[in-house]
Amino acid sequence: MDNKKTSLGGRLASSEAFVSVAASLICIVIGLLLGVVVLAIIDAEHAIGDGLLVILQSGIKSPRNMGTVLANAAPLIMTGLSVGFAFKTGLFNIGAAGQYTLGAFGALYCAIVLQLPWYLCLLAAMVLGAIWGAIPGFFKAYMNINEVITSIMFNWIGLYMVNDIMYGKGQSPMYDLATTKTYSLRKAAQGAMIPSCGMSDYFGKLQSVTIAIFIAILFALIVYVVLNKTTFGYELKACGFNKNAAQYAGINDKRNIILSMTIAGALAGVGAGLYYLSTVAEWNPQVSTALPAIGFNGISAALLACSNPIGTIFSSLFISYITVGGTKLSTQYYTKEIADVITALIIYLCAFSMLFRSKIRALLTGKTRRTGLGKGGND
């Protein structure tokens, strides 16, 4: 029996997936507990019943709330994949927000102006996101300019360029003067809307619930296979681990850096396409003077998932769930931004995930060592 426990502990300790999931769960639990403390500081009497329980139960109690969770999770999965993919290849793609912005422009332009079907609009979003991601990759590969600097710069360049084109002094074919936003696809381009395939019927007739969530999951599976089951993925990760060693082995590091950032940009662009082609919202070029938060939330999703593509699905669903739950808090006691505070606490704890993982391994292997020593003493 001891041998079985020992071997089980050893196998779990050597399983990167188990250790990563356990560390992420620890981050979530501690983050929620700290969230309760924050809620109690604001209003101790309602911290549980009108605070934490509302956040945790809102999605379960209302089909429409759960539909909103799924609609917002799809683009978050894509930006999480974008950041996580770059992480896996040794790059920090902080430009997902800008790539997402270019993707939104590509999708909406092809939908409203060109009247193309949704899948071609999604392809346009992917291409423009890829181009915007390739530029920092090029600077990194050939000029050794840090991708963080160029990505941040191109975030703002992309935002104001897209806003200027979409607004067009109020005369752009994409801009609706009546709503001060881009034209609603429900009125202007129904053929460009991602189909619901009956999903909205299960979520309180919420029309923004589409097959986008399944498309995002499919991309996550593809990224997982590419990174872990292909030579191409091995080369990308090899450059990330040690560029000099990869170069010595005959791997073209410059090409792989550009390709990595291009793919990361494409993933973020698709995220914007899934969001706007599902008619979750319209773009407001006059108000959108801040970068899309979902681009930076992708960093949170990637960190919580330890950059694992499959884990990104679940971390994105969790973050989306917490965020939607926060909007249902009673304004009498709390503001909806409290959900962002709780999410931020969880993500902050992700910085300690390496510590948690080492402690988990030590706990499991420590039991193994003690058992082995005990046997040696008996002999």
Segments forming the whole domain that contains residue 244: 69-336
Given this model, what pLDDT does residue 378 score?
46
* Same-domain status, 267 and 327: yes
Kindly state whether residue 62 falls inside one of the protein's structural domains: no
In this structure, are 221 and 181 located in the same domain?
Answer: yes
CATH classification at residue 166: 1.10.3470
Question: 57 in a domain, yes or no?
Answer: no
Residue 6's pLDDT is 54
Clarify whether residues 237 and 369 are in a common domain: no
- The reported pLDDT for the residue numbered 289 is 74
Q: Is residue 52 part of a domain?
A: no
Q: Is there a single domain that holds both residue 303 and residue 367?
A: no
Query: In a 3-state reduction of DSSP, which class is residue 207?
Result: coil
Q: What is the number of structural domains in the chain?
A: 2
User: 288-302: per-residue pLDDT in tens?
Assistant: 678 888 988 899 899
Please indicate, yes or no, if residue 51 is contained in any of the structural domains. no
Q: How does pLDDT run across 134-153, given as a tens digit for each residue? A: 999 999 999 989 999 999 99
Q: Is the domain of 9 the same as that of 156?
A: no
Q: Is residue 371 part of a domain?
A: yes
13 and 78 fall within a common domain: no
266 and 364, same domain (yes or no): no
Residue 58, in any domain of the structure? no
> Does residue 169 share a domain with residue 286?
yes
Statement to judge: residues 330 and 348 lie in one domain: no
pLDDT at 325: 84
3-state secondary structure of 289: coil
In the chain, what's the furthest Cα-to-Cα distance? 88
Report the chain's terminal Cα–Cα distance, integer Å.
Answer: 18
Residue 53 lies in a domain: no
The answer on 304 and 169 residing in a single domain is yes
Quick check: is 61 in a domain? no
**In terms of domains, do 120 and 227 share one?**
yes
Q: What is the pLDDT of residue 13?
A: 61
Q: Does residue 369 sit in the same domain as residue 299?
A: no
State how far the Cα of 292 lies from the Cα of 112, in Å rounded to an integer.
21
Q: What is the pLDDT of residue 374?
A: 42
Q: How far apart are CA 304 and CA 182, in angstroms?
A: 33
Query: Tokens for 374?
Result: 């005990």
Please tell me the distance from the alpha carbon of residue 258 to that of residue 74, in angstroms, as a whole number. 26
**Alpha-carbon distance values, 263 to 82, 88, 134, 215 (Å):** 8, 12, 8, 16
Report residues of the chain scoring pLDDT below 50.
368-379
